[in-house]
Amino acid sequence: MISGVSDNFRVFNQPVSNVSVTGAKAVAAESAPALPADTLTKSKSDSSARLIPKSLFCSTAAKTEETASASAVTTNSVSSWQAKWGPQVIYFPLTDRFSDGDPSNNFNVDKNNPTAYHGGDLRGVINNLDYIKGLGATCLWVAPMYDNADKVRMGDYEGTGYHGYWITDHYKVDEHQGTINDAKELVSKAHEKGMKVVLDTVLNHVAPNHPWVNDPSKHDWFHHNGGIQNWDDPWQLENRDVCGLPDLNQSNPEVYKYLLDNTLWWVKETGADGIRLDAIKHVDHQFWQKFCADIKKEMGDDFMILGEALHGDPNVVSGYMRDGMDSCFDMPLYYTIRDTIGKDGSAREIGKRFAEDSKYPDASKMVTLLDNHDFERFMNNTNNSRGEDKLKLGMDLIMTCRGIPSVYYGDETAMVGGGDPDNRRDMEFGTKPHITEHLQKLTSTRAAMPALQFGQQMEMWQDDQIYAFCRRHEGQECITVLNNSYDHQTRNIPLREGSPLHNGDVMVDVLTGDKFTVNNNCLNIGTADKQGRVLVPEKDYGNIQFKK
């Protein structure tokens, strides 16, 4: 928060109804400006659109003390961590389902069985690094490489550890994936291509057939409280087994030391740039506070610690960032995107979600997503209507809003899939080039626009059909407009106070090439049904090197 600015003036996303800037303070505005007759179309509900008070309009006159103060709010200082991680686009190829680069390690492969090994391996990922980079991804999230269970039965479920989360040996690469030399080569070649690597790390549990489970000397390495019965009880989440997986007792000093030493071994052995922590809500906060501090002490402040808490409440997710994790997956925004873009909810809900950004220590560090390997694919959550258009609209949002975007393998080809394990089908390369091209336009734009990597985010418009926001950094402004309706919409969107844009300036939509000129301190923007627009200054448009 900028010194002297009221907490009502949100830094990353500023709801603008009833807010006015006077000097460096946020105060209640007397009223919003009258609605131009030609501003809204198609829906009576649009008459309740959230508008910008006149005192927040961009002025072409010489800056007053008031506008200078407002401009100061949009000036970012970028930390060394943010400089390293803010520009990243993360890609997650679930190794066993991505690409088979070495048939010699295809032990007990059965592609007709969704819970069996399918043959994907580290060599397959290595062979596709150029493909991944060509999508615009700059950071690889590698699935757990530990040796995993070849076969496990838990109740009525029988399957294998093809995914990497059922560990049987913490210091061995699973034979289906390759060798430790393959792991080192993957990281080394990714680095040669300018990509970073984050290793998936599992500290909550082991496989039921891990040697420790039946070792009397390791009895106190586990909790012995049975399975979780009440998923709303934090104690049960932290001290009982998840779906039959033996729950480690992280409060045991021997367990803590083993997990810390093992994590550091993998990082140092491979040269990885960060870790992704699995199932963090199943381990207590005291453990995470000490663990994160010890990792940072050993690896440095710019080493990435990314946590996964499958929870929709920002108050819960933010607690783990306060434990010392740099970032968490933005599950609250994920659920909002599913309900609004995926299932045709009100675009206002997007604004409501961003209005909670102040609950995080730093919302710009959140990792945004449309898909992951724990839920039905986005394409299966679109009410069977306009799925590909909704997918592109979701991409428009996560690739331009605050945070670090992530892509689950197959999003670039609009893969479908139900719940686990159907959401982990074998990768389909090259099947939807128009979706891939759309993603590439967005990643290319993000790579060329510091405002989309580091910029503070401010809401510009909100109604049931349209949500719009801008990102600003060091005199550059980019604007995203999302039409979540099934009709063409037009909005005359006012610029926010302190905008570097002026009347006559031209903005280009990177997705279509359409141009819009600032007039009377506004942008009059038409959008087709289920369309997003990503607007960048014409003077910066030529700097984008679009990937093909």
Active-site residue, 357 included? no
Respond yes or no on whether the N-terminal peptide bond of residue 421 is cis (omega within 30° of 0).
yes
- Residue in the structure block whose two tokens are 């939509």: 509
Active-site residue, 278 included? yes
Q: Any alpha helices (H) in 246-375, and if so which ranges?
A: 253-270, 285-299, 314-322, 331-337, 348-354
Find out whether 138 and 162 touch, Cβ atoms under 8 Å.
no
HSE-CB for 61 with a 13 A CA cutoff: 5
Angstrom distance (rounded) from CA 360 to CA 118: 39
Q: Which of 174, 278, 459, 497 is catalytic?
A: 278
Find out whether 221 and 299 touch, Cβ atoms under 8 Å.
no
**What separation in angstroms does the CA of 387 have from each of 394, 459, 526?**
10, 26, 22
With a CB cutoff of 8 Å and minimum separation 6, the contacts of 539 are none
Q: Which of 96, 308, 412, 505 is catalytic?
A: 308
Find out whether 111 and 118 touch, Cβ atoms under 8 Å.
yes
For residue 329, count other CB atoms closer than 10 A to its CB: 25
Angstrom distance (rounded) from CA 494 to CA 459: 11
What is the rounded radius of gyration, in angstroms, for the C-alpha atoms of the chain?
24
- Residue in the structure block whose two tokens are 């400089």: 83
Q: How far is CA 543 from the centre of its chain?
A: 25
Find out whether 525 and 481 touch, Cβ atoms under 8 Å.
yes
Query: Contacts for 286-294 with beta carbons within 8 Å, 24 or more apart?
Result: 286/251, 287/250, 287/251, 287/256, 288/320, 288/323, 288/324, 288/325, 289/323, 289/324, 290/256, 291/203, 291/256, 291/259, 291/260, 291/324, 292/323, 292/324, 292/325, 293/324, 294/260
Pairing state between β 404-408 and 274-277: unpaired
Active site residues: 278, 308
